[in-house]
Chains A and B, each alone.
Chain A
């Protein structure tokens, strides 16, 4: 069992849990992920880590309530425990000093981008960050990303904060204006990463994305997480999660992410029903 040492609600739907896991905290690096199980009957699912605290022996994770599993997780409080917490998995993000790096963060993935940007800055890079949210109410960690960035551009889809734009607009402008950008790192919803990739491709700038397919074991045992990268098939959990965006077959990835849509709906319906009848509240 792994204790939730601290809980913070970043928005009503996005939560930060600090999990007690000294062995994971000792080795964790930017860009790696963990596999969690909420309880004994839960599924194994991946979350990219939002940092680590080697002294406290804890690892923060940030997640958004989407399906049954994340809603179930969101019901837990500080002091409660989760059944399994396995990591640090995957290959850490390469954080060499390349010069200028653009970090693009979409939605709750901002939590993942912060430690990556931090590591890149520590390596001596200049960091230009772009963060995008649907609207102001969903935003969090502006301050944290600002702290690790030399420049920060914020956009919202509806213009309720910052600039009214998708992240790809400022990204394109930055690449047009700064010929010395050597690397773009884009992390967020798959559709955002796909369009970020299409935006950087004409500029020929190396672009890394952190892929989030469905996983089971997270250690290379099942092949559930496989994606097409160029002419090869790769397992995201062991060969990634970072990949060259321009080599990713986005259609295969997006189709595979939808493998269990119907089952997910069944799960959510049952869960909502359960919450209403047993817990006397909202799911």
Chain B
């Protein structure tokens, strides 16, 4: 019997810019595998029968198949397998929380490091992007049906692409002056280059989708007016873009930003290139970011790149509960971001001109698990202390913007402001209206928004042909 080759229990390391260098530029942190590296990593996959990874993926990408094709050097085969269920692999490979999804359940993970599925996904997507002889997408003959899609984040883009390929006439309305949603205004260039997002938007346009920017639905036409104006169905993918503040004393002082404002100025408006671009952002010395999710990590890492001397993450639970992608927490630590865990803000103190100068904090400890299953943070009485700051970024989460629900009679919303829609189809209780993504789930992930878009597209297509 031939010797079984020994499995390498370690994954191939991702090439990255050195922390000291990348902390001062906005170029992508991870530079990506080479073909050799990708093939070697793909070769670690044992092609097990369990297919846990597929079940662990919110859109059930054919992971073992695309990894095998890559290993065998069949690049177009890998592309086809990958894109069968995932419209945005170049984006998902970069921003999905793989460690809690596909890679979490990888069989190899029991003995060593799971296959680096996200990195391979990114490699295959980037490879395809570089090819000049891409096959033309197949577009079905026109059905004569018109669909309006509101919001151009991952949910809206996916729905638009799928429905356009099925032959429907699609108009995509976006409130901002660029399409892409959070992918453009929130997630920074160094984690998700904007050229990649723009590539996806351009692809959607090549399918015949009419993208109308600067169009705030509810302020120009309402949903009912769009329906009366000849649209046969509508998909709402307006996301969860309304920032939450703490409601603490001093929160309106100058120098205190919501993460949405901080990131929008930096990424969408390119304030890091001020004064070449006109939008300014404060040059800070000591920045505190409040929160522990991806949004907080992105804000802190932007602050570093904008030239701050010290950047803190203040989070009320412990390291284990940090909701951000593990890789981003590591990256942030490497870049010198200081984590102040089990800490909560109490109030903000300003100078005579209204600028924030200090933040009073409280120490916390963890008690019994709460509804979310995480241990509840409890205030340590009398533990107040002060941190000197000149910039504070509040990254506590977002809820859906009420504009669409409030201008659309007949939609059902929850207490949290999300729109009620069926899980499997995205159908709302309102006739001819579907919804998906963060608008329905509250702030979640790119892949779940994309999955919702795919399911809604299938349901809308069935309805239009029914």
Contacts and interface: CB of A to CB of B under 8 A. Distances in A.
Interface in A203-253: 216-217, 219-224, 226-228, 233, 238, 249, 251-252
Interface string A69-89: 100000000000001111111
B275 A217 contact: no
Interface stretch (A22-30, A93-101, A143-151, A192-200): A22-30
Given A86-B177, A220-B403, A27 B220 contact: yes
B245 A233 contact: yes
A222 to B, nearest CB: 4
Which of B251, B270, B277, B278 gathers the greatest number of chain A CB atoms within 10 Å? B278
A139 to B, nearest CB: 30
B252 interface: yes
Query: B interface, by DSSP: helix, strand, loop or mixed?
Result: loop
Nearest to A266: B275
Contacts of B260: 221-223
Contacts, number: 115
A88 B216 CA distance: 8
A264 B279 CA distance: 9
- Considering residues B214, B260, B277, which has the most beta carbons from chain A within 10 angstroms of its beta carbon? B214
A228 B250 CA distance: 11
Interface stretch (A9-17, A35-43, A49-57, A178-186): A35-43
B65 interface: no
Contacts of A68: 278
Nearest to B398: A221
Interface residues of B, number: 41
A37 B177 contact: yes
Interface string A248-276: 01011001101110011011001000000
A121 interface: no
B280 interface: yes
B365 interface: no
B394 to A, nearest CB: 8
Interface size class of A (residues with CB under 8 A): 35 or more
A267 B403 contact: no
Interface string B279-316: 11010000000000000000000000000000000000
B372 interface: no
Contact of B258 (A44, A89, A222, A256): A222
B357 interface: no
B265 A216 contact: yes
Given A26-B220, A27-B220, A217 B254 contact: no
B219 interface: yes
Contact of A221 (B214, B245, B254, B264): B264
B252 A219 contact: no
A69 B220 CA distance: 26
B214 A223 contact: no
B115 to A, nearest CB: 38
Given A86-B177, A228-B252, A259-B254, A221 B242 contact: yes
A265 B355 CA distance: 19
Contact of B243 (A84, A221, A249): A221
B344 to A, nearest CB: 19
A83 B177 contact: yes
Nearest to A27: B220
B175 A219 contact: yes
Nearest to A223: B258
A89 to B, nearest CB: 6
B127 interface: no
A233 B278 contact: no
A23 B176 CA distance: 15
B177 A267 contact: no
Contacts of A216: 261, 264-265, 269, 279
B25 interface: no
Sorted from nearest, which 10 A-B pairs have the closest CB atoms?
A: A255-B354, A263-B280, A222-B261, A223-B258, A43-B278, A84-B177, A43-B279, A23-B220, A86-B214, A221-B241
Interface of B: 175-177, 213-216, 219-221, 241-243, 245, 247, 251-254, 257-258, 260-261, 264-265, 269-270, 274-280, 282, 353-355, 401-403
Interface of A: 23-24, 26-27, 37, 41-44, 68-69, 83-89, 216-217, 219-224, 226-228, 233, 238, 249, 251-252, 255-256, 258-260, 263-264, 266-267, 270
Given A23-B220, A221-B243, 6 more contacts: A24-B220, A27-B220, A219-B403, A220-B242, A223-B257, A260-B282
